[in-house]
Amino acid sequence: MARIHHLGCGTMCPIGGRLVGGDRWLARARLVCHCLLVETDKDGLVLVETGFGTADCEDPNRLPRVFRAVAGPRLDRSETALEQVRALGFDPRDVRHVVVTHLDPDHAGGLPDFPWATVHVHRFERDDAVSPPDVRARTRYWKNRFAHHPRWAVYEPKGDVWMDLPAVKQLDGLHHDLALVPMIGHTRGHTAVVVRHGARWLVHAGDAYFHRDELADPPRAPIALRWFATMDEIDRDARLASVAALRRLKAHPDVDVVCAHDPVELDHAAAASAP
């Protein structure tokens, strides 16, 4: 049975106060980079998402000035996945696999810290990041994340069915139940990552949604996060369909769903998984 550690591998303090989900109107809010460290019986450690990396902390200029001004990343080395793996008593070289929902910098910034690991990703996502097809993609994907030439394991947009969702791909080279589930819309190759632990399933939805109340009935969310989701999407209809699918999954009694940036979800999940 896998054990899952919930890690905050980066903190962002964006402007906007309550418009971004903060407690006060004039204060900066708190967003996180929610990552998972999965202990498996046969495959070593599997890292789901990486957050920001040590190089970002050492040289904040790796991140564009506008991003730093608006998002307010804290860039604390102790929050990086590399240091948190060590803090848990593991050797970082035991991280044999890294799985990413997509390759935005706050999700893939730590890839250079694990150059020996196999990086599992949807083929469309890898292709758009490594060879950006247009100006928007060149702005989105920062090549300093991939300068170390990652060991890619890429997955085609087809596969099995899980919970009535199509094109699910179990990860190559792993014995444990981990899979990519297409959740297109935020990017062309965005996926959720599904991990089985005991009798339950955990779905890491990445940026398919940004706030827990987007999965409520009726859905709601801070206005600035709704605006950002719309501005940053590639395909609106596909993104809304992905959110609807996640809403159905969350209603399942054996499924837990988290996204990448909601601090309340991270705090609750980390507390629930603590020994």
The residue behind tokens 């599992």 is: 120
Residues in the chain: 275
Q: Give the sign of the dihedral formed by CA 56, CA 62, CA 65, CA 67.
A: negative
Q: In this model, does residue 78 exceed pLDDT 90?
A: yes
φ/ψ of residue 5, rounded to 5? -100, 130
- Could you read off the pLDDT of 154-192 as tens digits, one per residue? 999 999 999 999 999 999 988 889 999 999 999 999 999
- pLDDT score for 23: 78
Q: What percent of the chain has pLDDT over 70?
A: 100
Task: Determine contact, residues 206/193, Cβ cutoff 8 Å.
Answer: yes
Give the pLDDT mean for 193-205: 95
- Terminal alpha carbon distance of the chain: 15
- Domains in the chain: boundaries: 3-273
Mean pLDDT of 98-127: 97
Q: What is the pLDDT of residue 2?
A: 80
Domain 3-273, what architecture? 4-Layer Sandwich (3.60)
pLDDT at 1 (0 to 100): 65
Strand 160-162 to strand 151-155: parallel, antiparallel, or no bridges (unpaired)? unpaired
Tell me, what's the pLDDT at 126? 97
Q: Residue 66 contacts by C-beta under 8 Å, 6 or more apart in sequence?
A: none
Is the per-residue pLDDT at 113 higher than 80?
yes
Which amino acid, residue 211?
A: H
113-117 average pLDDT score: 97
What would the mean pLDDT of 222-251 be, rounded to a whole number? 95
Provide CB contacts within 8 A for 154, sequence distance 6+: 121, 122, 123, 126
Q: What is the average pLDDT across 71-96?
A: 97
pLDDT at res. 22? 83
Listed in order, strand segments (DSSP E) in the chain are 3-12, 31-39, 45-48, 95-99, 118-122, 151-155, 160-162, 165-170, 178-182, 191-197, 200-204, 255-258
Look at strands 95-99 and 45-48 and give their pairing: parallel
